[in-house]
Amino acid sequence: MVPSFAQPVRRMVVAVLLCGALLAGTTACGGDDSDAAASPTATSSAERQKFAKTRFVANAGLAAGASYQWIVKPWRAGKFKNGADGRKFALIKAGVAGAFTYNRLKAAVKNAEGDPTLSKAVAPLAAGIESLKDLPGKLRKGDGVDSVSSSFDDIINNVKDAGKSAGATVTDKVPSASQLAGS
């Protein structure tokens, strides 16, 4: 009869031997390193720039969609005025959307840094985007809603214009509830 601890020990020995055999097999099959320097990189400079524009468009589009859907549209419809039906809930949604918008705009600016043309177009907007940092809290409280909503609308339009001038057209994309919650 085999002791009870022998079974796990055998499995461990077999696992170690198999790992060693796999490791030896992969190193034996590798080529020489002389051609490694000549092989292309995973992403070239042009590909990084293309991905930068793509990510910029995606992040700016989500920011624009959230801002329009839950800040600008209700603001224009008068949902934020004192006494309006559903005002508190609209302000809470606007606050969450404002935080999401700020987060995505910061990501879009970071993405823009990967493309020289886009970086130059977006750079002047960084201060305006940074000024949005405290506005979601003001939206939740209902403080200065008209000026806050106007600020979001202005910044989003400036980001869209900057993207368009750099060949990265931004279209509104309304984020899902899980995307909003994840911000």
* Percentages of the chain per state (helix, strand, coil), in multiples of 5: 75, 0, 25
Q: What is the pTM of this model?
A: 0.69
Query: Which is more confident, 49 or 23?
Result: 49
Four-way CATH pick for 48-167: 1.20.1630, 1.20.120, 1.10.760, 1.10.287: 1.20.120
Q: What percent of the chain has pLDDT over 90?
A: 47
- Amino acid (one-letter) located at 38: A
pLDDT of residue 46: 62
Query: Which is more confident, 148 or 48?
Result: 148
Q: What percent of the chain has pLDDT over 70?
A: 72
Residue of 176, 181, 182, 175 lying closest to 60 (CA atoms)? 175
Average pLDDT over residues 164-169: 93
pLDDT tens string 115-163: 999 999 998 998 899 988 888 888 877 778 888 888 889 999 999 999 9
pLDDT of residue 137: 82
114, 49 in Cβ contact below 8 A?
A: yes
65, 175 in Cβ contact below 8 A?
A: yes
